[in-house]
Amino acid sequence: MHERAHVAARAARGAATILGAVPLLIFATGLAVAGPPGQDMENATEPTPAAFPPQSGGSVAVQSFLEDDAALLAWLEAHNKDVLAAAARVDQAVAELARDRLFPNPSVEGTVSDIPAGTTNPPGLTRADTAVYGTVLSETVEIGKRGPRVESARLRLESERRSYLEALGDKTAEARLILGRVAYLGARQAVLEESLAAARQNLDLQRSRLENGDLSGNDFDRLLVDTLLLESEVDANRQESESTAAACGAVLADPCSAAGAGIESVNRAAALPPAPDARAAIERRPDIQALALARDAANRDALLAHRRRIPDPSLSLGYTHDNLTISGDQPRTFLFSIAIPLPVFDRGQHEASRAEARARELEWTAAGARERGRADVDALLKRRASLERTLGELLGQAVPKSKGVLEATLDAVNRGGMSMTDLLLARRTHTDLLLKVMDLQFDLFIVRNDLRRALGLDADLARAAAATPEVRP
């Protein structure tokens, strides 16, 4: 009877040990499957309302966005899908930095040993008399690796932020270009329609002269053909204007309204500083800075790889409850151990070589981008000077003279002093001159817009609007 009580007492102690270890094991399992505080499983499959890009209604005014760079940039930052995607990449880099700042997870191990398989020694022992329960908690201690890893992630985050500014600046230049094209085609359409209305009015007048016998049929037919050609140009320009407006809506995520926008809006758009410092502006360009920061991050990756030759020890603390005290074992014991990996074969040498080669690649890429940027700026500045000189001559001399010639020719034809051929030639020359001036004005706008992109001025505007401290490469 006394022996049975003794066995029952041991069984109870074993069960209590198992029950005592269960909460620790459940806690460890929970650490493995649980997410960070404040998150739940629904977040992995169903995004919050803030994750959806904002929607807009109505239409955007071409004139106001052409003349207000800050408003255009703010609109694109909130509505353009490519810019929102670039912002999401920044959020990914933020999460990666937070992940790399974490310490390695500890591990917990639970064991049950000395379970009899057959007869026991001495005979007659039960599982409760022989079972040994153990728990081991282990943690890896990093030596010299956390600092370079965190610094590399921080530099990649700063590089991604520059890439975001680059994407925003590029989209701003792209949107401004298409807004300018909408305004330019609208102004061109107005000139063509005005010329067509004058041609139709003159055609009606000449038809009366034809009926009265004051005009030959051949001259009237030439005037009619010229009017038909002008109508085809009006229709072609209208179709191009409609397709450009559709493309504008795709970039700005809303229909574009060209009301009030004309060639003057194009002339005022894409303003440039009086004497930009091209070299300093190119060094400030976000794509150049992103490459430099990515290069620095690659160098930190190389340092991290080199430090893999320093082994990271694993420290362990264990507790054992031994029921086989009949053999002289201690009933409760602690365990302290350290495991040190031996960097015999893999010492990070190949990862370091790859990271160093990546740093050299980014350095050469940045150098090439600087050279291309300086060459582009020089070419664009020369192109701008040439266009401004040509436009000054045309607007100051050619357009007033052409207008005077057209008015004098029309008056002479109406009085019968000149032929219809002279009128057709004068009208066509004047219309072509006006369209040529508009084409040159639009070309000058493109050059200014490209200069803003090459100098990174839109990115500077975005950087100033953000007004956040930056990390210099």
Structure confidence at residue 261 (pLDDT): 83
Q: Quick one: tokens of 444?
A: 């000058």
- Cβ atoms of 172 and 458 within 8 Å: the answer is yes
pLDDT-derived band of residue 213, with 50, 70 and 90 as boundaries? confident
Question: What's the CA angle centered on 30, arms 24 and 33, to 5 degrees?
Answer: 150
Instruction: Identify the architecture of domain 60-103+142-466 in CATH.
Output: Up-down Bundle (1.20)
Q: Quick one: tokens of 18?
A: 């198992």
* Phi, psi at 123, each rounded to 5°: -65, 155
Structure confidence at residue 84 (pLDDT): 95
pLDDT-derived band of residue 22, with 50, 70 and 90 as boundaries? very low
Name the DSSP letter for residue 185: H
* Phi, psi at 200, each rounded to 5°: -65, -40
- Cβ atoms of 441 and 363 within 8 Å: the answer is no
pLDDT-derived band of residue 58, with 50, 70 and 90 as boundaries? low
- Cβ atoms of 84 and 53 within 8 Å: the answer is yes
Q: Does the pLDDT of residue 424 top 90, yes or no?
A: no
Structure confidence at residue 124 (pLDDT): 82
As a whole number of angstroms, the distance between CA 413 and CA 201 comes to 14
Q: Among 82-86, 266-270, 357-361, 411-415, where is mean pLDDT lowest?
A: 411-415
Question: What's the CA angle centered on 355, arms 350 and 359, to 5 degrees?
Answer: 145
The CA R_g of the chain, rounded to the nearest whole Å, is 40
Structure confidence at residue 311 (pLDDT): 95
Burial label, 239 (beta-carbon count in 10 A; 0-12, 13-18, 19+): exposed
**Average pLDDT for residues 233-248, to the nearest whole number?**
91
pLDDT-derived band of residue 205, with 50, 70 and 90 as boundaries? confident
Q: Does the pLDDT of residue 20 top 50, yes or no?
A: no
Top pLDDT among 414 and 419 is at 414
Per-chain mean pLDDT for the chain? 84
Assign 375 to helix, strand or coil. Answer: helix
Q: Does the pLDDT of residue 220 top 90, yes or no?
A: no
As a whole number of angstroms, the distance between CA 328 and CA 372 comes to 82
Name the DSSP letter for residue 419: -
Number of neighbouring beta carbons within 10 Å of residue 401: 11
Amino acid symbol at 334: F
pLDDT-derived band of residue 467, with 50, 70 and 90 as boundaries? low
Task: Give the rounded percent of residues in the chain with a pLDDT score beyond 90.
Answer: 56
Smallest Cα–Cα separation from 69: which of 318, 295, 270, 226? 270
As a whole number of angstroms, the distance between CA 164 and CA 464 comes to 14
pLDDT-derived band of residue 438, with 50, 70 and 90 as boundaries? very high
Q: Among 2-16, 82-96, 117-131, 289-303, where is mean pLDDT lowest?
A: 2-16
As a whole number of angstroms, the distance between CA 200 and CA 228 comes to 10
Number of neighbouring beta carbons within 10 Å of residue 325: 11
Assign 306 to helix, strand or coil. Answer: helix
Beta strand 314-322 with 132-140 is antiparallel
Predicted TM-score (pTM) of the model is: 0.78
Q: Among 153-162, 241-250, 345-354, 356-365, where is mean pLDDT lowest?
A: 241-250
Beta strand 60-61 with 256-257 is parallel
Q: Which helix (H) or strand (E) holds 54?
A: none
Q: Does the pLDDT of residue 55 top 90, yes or no?
A: no
